[in-house]
Amino acid sequence: MIRSAVVSDIPVIHAMIRELAAYEKVPHEARATEEQLREALFGERPAAFAHVALTPEGEAVGFSLWFLSFSTWRGVHGIYLEDLYVRPGVRGGGYGKSLLRELARICGERGYERLEWAVLKWNEPSIAFYEAVGARPQDEWSVYRLTDGALAELGAS
């Protein structure tokens, strides 16, 4: 079962974010706190949204965290999927596909024309999964990022 996250899901979402960071070999980069997640997802002006995947017994075993994007070329919103994670013990059980299906359903319902995300080039299991549901890499684009000192330096210049 897939449902929208609720405030009481914050601790398990936070734990899974840390698990994802460890899987991606950068556990030190997962610095978000539960309070930051609570504010981002459920504050006065939510900046992001989340869904959780539940076993038949009601245990949260996966999540998606996303926010709205906007295409100037298409003139409509889309969804940018920041994180999709399913705990290792239940991978292959359809939870990841169900989470993506829910986001695709939301896109269709709201007239959004894109569902996009990034995947690490070495993450072959995820790449195979995404391609199996019809996603295609955007090889002509490279992702750039400013953080920490470089971000502060540019902002101060």
Q: Buried b / exposed e across 47-72, counting CB within 10 Å, b at 16+?
A: ebbbbbbbeeeeebbbbbbbeeeeee
- Our answer to whether residue 130 is catalytic in this structure is yes
Query: 3-state class of 18 per DSSP?
Result: helix
Question: What is the rounded end-to-end Cα distance, in angstroms, of the chain?
Answer: 49
* Spatial separation of the C-alpha atoms in residues 60 and 16, rounded to whole Å: 10
The pair of structure tokens assigned to 6 is: 């609720």
- In this structure, is the dihedral angle defined by the CA atoms of residues 56, 58, 59 and 60, taken in order, positive or negative? positive
* Spatial separation of the C-alpha atoms in residues 79 and 107, rounded to whole Å: 7
- Catalytic residue chosen out of the listed positions 23, 112, 130, 144: 130
Contact 110, 49 (CB under 8 A): no
Which residues are tagged catalytic? Answer: 130
